[in-house]
Structure 1
Amino acid sequence: MARKVILFITQTLDGYIANSDGKIDFLWNDKFSTGSVVDREYEKLSKRVNTVIMGRHTYNQIVNGMSPNDYPYAGYENYVMTTHPLPDEDNIHFVNGEVAKLVSDLKAKSSKGDIWIIGGSNVIAPLVNADLIDIYHIGIVPIILGKGIPLFSDRVIPKELSLESAKKVNEIVYVEYSH
């Protein structure tokens, strides 16, 4: 069975993944996640993926801000897209190249795990345009920013997707689309 490429990401109600300064701390508001239902969406994803692909900005945000002492994706094979590569560190590979080619190559390799796409439009837009994202799993938090960094940039070619599921978990709505 072919590996799936999954965009698993959270955005605001008005479609932003970060504020204008690139900060994402508003996405982890306890009011969204607390309630009568245990949110297991991340847990389900983590059981099916073994590869993570992200951009350099997202990587820097994780290692310098969100989790500087404990890299949260250490158990996965990591690919960081960057124009200024560093030497590889254990299972973290810094790649200067086209993300669509990397994903195509990884999809062609036999593996028991799927591929998780994390990050912004420099990674997402080329994959959308090349029809390489199989599953769009998007969490929507009840915040309206009015401005910020959008999930999908103006570089994305219009796509029609099929709704696979929609569910409410406390104050977060998760929608899943396929192409």
Structure 2
Amino acid sequence: MSEKRNLILFIATSLDGYIATEDDSLEWLFKVEGEGDNGYSEFYETIDTVIMGKRTYDWVMEQGLKEFPYKDKKCFVFSRSQIRDTNEVTFINADVTKFVNELKAQEGKNIWIVGGGELLHSFIEEKLIDEFIITVAPTIIGKGIPLFKGGDSQLELSLKGTRIFNQFVELHYGLKK
């Protein structure tokens, strides 16, 4: 029997816990001096599946990129409405827990949840995230889109490691099981 795949949150946040400004800008993030791609390429090689919510997908599509950034991975976008699949994306309107557990049981590399918001909150409530890789930027935004939404969910994590990429600090946690 093969080992179960992990669902990993890999994301950057401001020191005060925001992933974007209120108008979805990441300009603050690009002003911070990093090192190379801050571990992105290394992480990207460990996954073969990407999951995101519709709002994150729309943001990605509005960036005017020449090609879809996850075209070499299986990409699923959760949406409350029925949307026709594209060559790069399968839209999902299904039970989050059941779908993710089915994905985790399949052969393959790890699964990346891209972005935060509602979908991340659902995953936290259901304890579906196995690892949290959070890169903290030395910037205080003051207000914006929080990494974690308030609520009753509590998770116990265990520190797996830290890394420094010039001004960024990467915190790597695993879910205590």
Aligned partner of 2:171: which letter? Answer: V
> For 2:129 and 2:93, how far apart are their aligned partners in 1?
20
**Matched residue, 1:79:** 76
Q: State which drifts further: 133-142 or 87-96.
A: 87-96
Q: What SS does structure 1 have at the residue aligned with 2:42?
A: helix
Residues 1:24 and 1:123: Cα distance change in structure 2 (over 3 Å): same
> For 2:96 and 2:58, how far apart are their aligned partners in 1?
18
Q: TM-score when scaled to structure 2?
A: 0.91
> For 1:135 and 1:61, how far apart are their aligned partners in 2?
24
List structure 1 segments (4+ residues) > 4 angstroms apart after TM superposition.
none
- Whether 2:26 is the aligned partner of 1:2: answer no
**Matched residue, 2:126:** 130
**Structure 1 residues 66-114: Cα deviation after superposition (integer angstroms, max 9, x where no partner):** x432211010000011112321112310111232222111011122x11
| Residue 127 of structure 1: how far off its partner (Å) | 1.1
**Matched residue, 1:162:** 158
Of Structure 1 and Structure 2, the greater helix share is in 1
**Matched residue, 1:26:** 28
Q: What SS does structure 1 have at the residue aligned with 2:163?
A: strand
Q: TM-score when scaled to structure 1?
A: 0.90
Contact 2:15 2:139 in 1 (8 A): yes
Q: Which runs of 5+ in 1 are unaligned?
A: none
**Identity among equivalent pairs (%):** 34
> For 1:161 and 1:123, how far apart are their aligned partners in 2?
19
> For 1:57 and 1:155, how far apart are their aligned partners in 2?
20
Q: Aligned-residue CA RMSD in angstroms?
A: 1.5
> For 2:29 and 2:98, how far apart are their aligned partners in 1?
31
